[in-house]
Chains A and B, each alone.
Chain A
Amino acid sequence: MSHSATKVRRAVAVLALTVTAAVLAGCGAASSPSTGAAPNADRAAAAEGVSPDVNLDQCGKPARTVKHDLGTTTISGSPAKVVALEYSFVDALVAVGMSPVGVADDGQPERIIPALRDKVGEYKSVGLRATPNIQVITALKPDLIVADSGRHKAIYAQLSKIAPTIAFASLNGNYQQVLDSEMSTAIALDKCDEMKTRLTEHAKVMADLKAKAPADESRTALFVRASDKGFTGFPAKAYTPGVLEVIGIRSPLPDDSGEASVSLTLETLVATKPDVMFIAPNEGPTLRDTWAKSPLWREIPAVKNNTTFDVDPNEWSRSRGLIAAEVVAQEAVELLYGK
């Protein structure tokens, strides 16, 4: 083998490595999962707070065609047995006075928040939200399945063989998307009027809570999930900050990054300068315990002002629903302004 041939090969290999590196660097800038609709919906829509994309004209029809993130699905009759593959959809069922026959509850029923638990009653766990057990879902013989459009995209075809399946953004959904998906779910359930009433009530609850906050509230509040490996901050367009914004509390994280969440280091956290921090810690020791020992931690305004609050990740982060939003807003108002 000649020397030059070896050189050429080496050049090709180096080129390949460089391309890989460039692709990596590129995706740093390019990856921007869009989280959809603007937070301010058309208030004039027939269902309060719901964006015009929701096809309300299907309400009350015997066979309703529901637009959802993975297509359109026609549902006839009034589904009675419903399987919810995310907590958001349990929220939607409870909001219209129903309860699911099966829930992907991660095998941890305590993750269904107290505000929903009693109304949910008996159900069958269908396993992890990420990998719901298709066998168990089939055995439940559901009339409708509500799935997450991200997590369950790959098994959507299989779910559709079991029962009509509608899919919405829950995991990556923002507040507006959650309200829309609750309404769309209600259309599928033939419970339009119930949901419209509930949405009006919801708007009133949120307005009352907003009234409890001073109109000139200028403090920013950061919502973070703390685990042993990371500290994840949620920018304004994510679900929880979206709920807080409704009652007049802004997020200190800039919204121009387009990211659904931001991984924070202690340094970036300090630079963010949150006036208030709502921390939803995972069980066991978290990074916060380590960071709290650092002098930098005490530089954070929220720590200095003693306005750092621990909140329940089930209520503040996992549930992502209409009822859960009221729970979050209520607790935020209580923590910040007293009862």
Chain B
Amino acid sequence: MSAAIVAQHVRRTSLAQRYPGILMGSLGVLAVVLSFYSLSVGATDVSMTDVFNAVIGNTGDQAAQIVVQFQLPRVLLAWLVGIALGVSGAVMQGVIRNPLAAPDVVGVTKGAGFAGMLLLLAIPGMPVVAVVPAAFAGGLAAAALVYLLAYRRGATPVRIALVGIAVSAAFEAGIRFLLVRNPLDVSAALIWLTGSLFGRSMSSVLEILPWVLVLVPLIVVWSRRLDVLGLGDDLAAGLGEPVERTRRLLLLFAVALAAAAVAVSGTIGFVGLIAPHMARRVFGGKHVASIPAAALFGVLLMIFADMLGRGLAPPLEIPAGLVTAVVGGPYFLYLLVKTGK
């Protein structure tokens, strides 16, 4: 690495760390602007004027109004799912002290996916709303199972990660089995599984909203404790932190957030992994800044993915989960190469 790049790198991080408020604020503004813009993106012509009219409740062109009414829950959901996944990933990476940690790693995603699929496929005639609590419970149960299996006088980060991968694989096998058993019903279930904001309404927004409203502020308040945990178990215990209890609680919060996100939107990969990475790169390792930043990056990723999915090949809809995978995969590889140097 040349000296110039080092200097640039140092200047950039220090700038972001000196004025985190300004940078965070501009990220927030960017997310809001992108949200409004995304309301006008899609298969039909909806002008920005229509969007503003519809949002403030003016009766303009009626079709455009209805369109915005259907898009609005999607955009709100993109915010909530982005926040939930970003924060959940940031906490998991902090607690497990593994930059590869994400809701996918501790089994939440696959557990929720399996429970949702079980309900969708094995019990026909089940009301669709029942998927949400089932997936949520499945996510929590899978994470609990991982924790139990990993527990040996405390659950070390490495054990959690390894057991998480094994349990995820087992649930993945279960999902495959269900898919093979029910070939005819697969298409609808697969769309839920890929992760998409297609056809979501205000009720989905209300289902995830309480989790985000309660858990995210709680996690931000606790961000100092995350910093302490990051010093390593021995040092953290030496500083008077009840390591195992704090870890357990923080993991529970993160898991609940991720499970709520998967329950309403299906399994959207990479957001929980990449948003915290971006946040740490820009805002550094202090959790009090990196957690809200991870939330904002999560929102940006989700809005972008949903917008791209709607706007790329209308009237066909590309599931947001597919877009995040396509965008997230290469970024993740870039990260691996970069950290490998």
Contacts and interface: CB of A to CB of B under 8 A. Distances in A.
Contact of B199 (A139, A141, A155, A232): A155
A215 interface: no
Given A12-B148, A135-B42, A158-B201, A127 B181 contact: no
A331 to B, nearest CB: 23
Interface of A: 1, 6, 9-10, 12-13, 16-17, 20, 23-24, 27-28, 30-31, 33-34, 107, 124-136, 138-139, 141, 150-151, 153-155, 157-158, 161-162, 171-172, 230, 232, 260-261, 263
Contacts of B310: 135
A-B residue pairs, 9 tightest by C-beta:
A127-B315, A155-B199, A133-B315, A27-B122, A139-B44, A13-B148, A154-B128, A33-B124, A31-B122
Nearest to B131: A154
6 contacts: A125-B315, A135-B67, A135-B314, A138-B67, A139-B67, A155-B199
Q: Which of B123, B148, B182, B188 has the most CB of A within 10 A?
A: B188
A261 to B, nearest CB: 5
A40 to B, nearest CB: 23
A31 B121 contact: yes
Contacts of B43: 127, 133, 135-136, 139
B184 interface: yes
Contacts of A27: 118, 122, 178, 181
Contacts of B123: 31
Contacts of A133: 42-43, 314-317
A298 B56 CA distance: 69
B331 interface: no
A34 B187 contact: no
B267 interface: no
A20 B175 CA distance: 12
A28 B187 contact: no
Contacts of B188: 130, 150-151, 153-154
A24 B177 contact: yes
B141 interface: yes
Contact of B70 (A24, A158, A232): A158
Interface in B171-209: 174, 177-178, 180-185, 187-188, 191, 196, 198-199, 201
Given A135-B42, A135-B44, A261 B315 contact: no
Most buried by A among B153, B170, B183, B201: B183
B184 A260 contact: yes
Contacts of A126: 315
Contacts of B182: 31, 33
A131 B66 CA distance: 18
A127 B185 contact: no
A17 B317 contact: no
A126 B145 CA distance: 43
Contacts of A33: 124, 182, 184-185
B265 interface: no
Which of B66, B141, B196 has the largest number of chain A CB atoms within 10 A?
Answer: B66
Contacts of B319: 131
A260 B71 CA distance: 35
Count class of interface residues, chain B: 35 or more
B44 A17 contact: no
Contacts of A132: 315
Contacts of A263: 180, 183
Contacts of B42: 133, 135
Contacts of A141: 63
B148 A34 contact: no
A127 B43 CA distance: 10
B200 to A, nearest CB: 9
Given A33-B184, A135-B71, A139-B44, 20 more contacts: A6-B152, A6-B153, A10-B148, A13-B148, A13-B149, A34-B124, A107-B313, A107-B316, A130-B188, A131-B196, A131-B198, A131-B199, A135-B44, A138-B44, A150-B188, A154-B128, A155-B198, A158-B199, A171-B184, A232-B183
Interface in B295-325: 310, 313-317, 319
A127 B199 CA distance: 13
Nearest to B74: A134
A130 B316 contact: no
A124 B315 CA distance: 9
B151 interface: yes
Given A27-B181, A107-B315, A131-B196, A157 B70 contact: no
Contact of A13 (B145, B198, B201): B145
Contacts of A135: 42-44, 46, 67, 70-71, 310, 314-315
A5 B124 CA distance: 41
Interface string B145-173: 10011011110000000000000001000
A151 B199 CA distance: 12
Interface in B39-75: 42-44, 46, 63, 66-67, 70-71
Contacts of A13: 145, 148-149
Given A136-B43, A171-B184, A261-B184, A16 B122 contact: no
Contacts of A129: 187
A20 B174 contact: yes
B149 A162 contact: no
A129 B44 CA distance: 18
Contact of A136 (B128, B153, B191, B314): B314
A138 B191 contact: no
Given A16-B148, A130-B191, A172 B317 contact: no
B122 to A, nearest CB: 4
Interface in B243-274: none
Interface centre among B46, B71, B124 (most CB of A within 10 A): B124
B112 to A, nearest CB: 14
A26 to B, nearest CB: 9
A157 B199 CA distance: 10
Contacts of A128: 316-317
A283 B310 CA distance: 27
Nearest to A32: B124
Contacts of A161: 66
Contacts of B46: 135
